[in-house]
Amino acid sequence: MKKLAFPTTGQTVDDVMRRWPSTIRVFIEFRMHCVGCPIATFHSVEEACSEHGIDLQTFLRNLHRAVQVPVEAGLDWPSASANSP
């Protein structure tokens, strides 16, 4: 299966959050109650935006930024390991 580079409007909300966990904060920032919602496995990103009255293109841009941030910023994420410096 080909891995998608960015979230799309046709993907389910659950799929987006599972593939790119950094997008979870975007759903929360937009006050979408999708995290942990059983409907997230059925609703596409487009449907969720429509249900919540959120501009789809604005939301999608924010999802794409959330996916890019660690790579573009060159951030090193701390390790959960007790042996990390």
Which residues fall within 8 angstroms of residue 3, CB to CB, at 6 or more apart?
A: 19
Q: What's 48's DSSP letter?
A: H
Determine the pLDDT at residue 5: 83
What confidence score (pLDDT) does residue 3 get?
Answer: 56
pLDDT in tens, 25-84: 999 999 999 999 999 999 999 999 999 999 999 999 999 999 985 544 444 444 444 444
**pLDDT of the residue at 69:** 57
Contact 45, 20 (CB under 8 A): no
What is the pTM (predicted TM-score) of this model? 0.74
